[in-house]
Structure 1
């Protein structure tokens, strides 16, 4: 993986993580780094859910991938908030 790929994943994770935090009700106290990690992990979770439900996709960038990434990030954020309170 090149430095450009790493920067792209960080930027993508920041966008997806920020959107998940925007859509999740309540206040989440997270740093920018945790938001990036949330977005990247949520993207992998959304991709796994999508692959299980619909099979794999040949295209690298598609709107459904963004939607599933945000849904995955919402699931990860929900689990994070529940575990952080415990």
Structure 2
């Protein structure tokens, strides 16, 4: 159980970071939000790969990882378009300096 949680966090961090790297421009997202997007993308990507029958392959499962990264890119785009950013410390779109 603990191993699965640690694996989900590590894979989520990698997938989320790759998703942010592939989205052009600056994303106003915290590390925690990047991690959440990555974990969700990894879980949904694994479910999609399982449904397609490509989840269990020998060696590195490139198809599953590509699905996860594409979902992370979509997640990063959705989060940045919705204006969810750094929370209390950061400025969101539409605010003006005082």
TM range (shorter): 0.7 to 0.9
Q: Equivalent residue for 1:56?
A: 53
User: Cα RMSD (Å) of the superposition?
Assistant: 2.3
Number of residues of Structure 1 aligned to a counterpart in Structure 2: 83
Q: TM-score, normalised by structure 2?
A: 0.70
Write out aligned runs for 1:1-86 (5 A): 2-47=1-46, 49-50=48-49, 55-59=52-56, 62-84=61-83
Larger relative helix fraction: 1
Q: State the shift of 1:79 in Å.
A: 1.1
Give the gaps of 5 or more residues in structure 2.
84-92
Report deviation, 1:49.
Answer: 5.0
In our comparison, the structure showing a higher alpha carbon Rg is 2
Contact 1:46 1:73 in 2 (8 A): no
Runs of 4+ in 1 over 3 A off after TM superposition: 44-52
CA deviation profile, 1:51-78 (whole Å, cap 9, x unmatched): 66xx233507611111110000111111
TM value normalised by structure 1: 0.79
